Structure 1
Amino acid sequence: MNAVGLPRKDEMPRKDERLAIPALGEYDNDLLTVDAWLNNRSKVVQAQSLLCVQLQERDKLIKERVEYLAKKRGITFDEMWEQILNGTAQKMTPGEEGLEYKSGDEG
């Protein structure tokens, strides 16, 4: 801390990685407002809850898609998952598509 009691620049917390979601349409915003009120939550908390539920419902589908992409690239599911998470996954070009993965391959 400096003399004023504020954290020094090198002690500042990391920048928040919050999602920026565009404004909802009028109807969806009204639904979210009512849903939040019914659940005794703020709109932000209710929207976060709804997004988490939707992602959990899609968990199996998301993992199946990652598995498909991994096979297509000739790598493991874990390697593909890590590449996506750390931002190093690359889209395949049209000429590369299908080089590793064949439709008859069994997983």
Structure 2
Amino acid sequence: MENWEKWDLKYSIAEFVLPRLEAYKKEVENDNIMSIPLWIEDHNLPFILDQNREYSKEEIRLINKEWASILQKMISSFTTLLTPNNEISFEELQKIQNEGMQLFAKYYFNLWD
């Protein structure tokens, strides 16, 4: 490992994680993920998530859409860390980064297919 990779570790981690999250999100959006993310909490779905029931293709599409929305918030957080954006306020930047990182931590063990 290079010394520069350890100086500000958050950037090295973000550079590793970001492209993988983006690729994972594309798989979700294309319905290529083998598992239905029933662990989503605080979701905006018109039905209750329950591991003990069958879901229609439309419901699976809605679940994946909600999951992709959550993934996008994680992606935005890492993106703003790596790509400075002078068009948004510092407060808005912090809000985006904090929300995405909290979701990343919350769902870290659920990033699988």
TM-score bin (small chain): under 0.3
User: Given the two structures, how large is their TM-score scaled by the length of structure 1?
Assistant: 0.27
Which structure has greater helix proportion?
2
**Bigger Rg, structure 1 or 2:** 1
Q: Which has the higher contact order (CA 8 A, sep 6+)?
A: 2
- TM-score, structure 2 normalization: 0.26
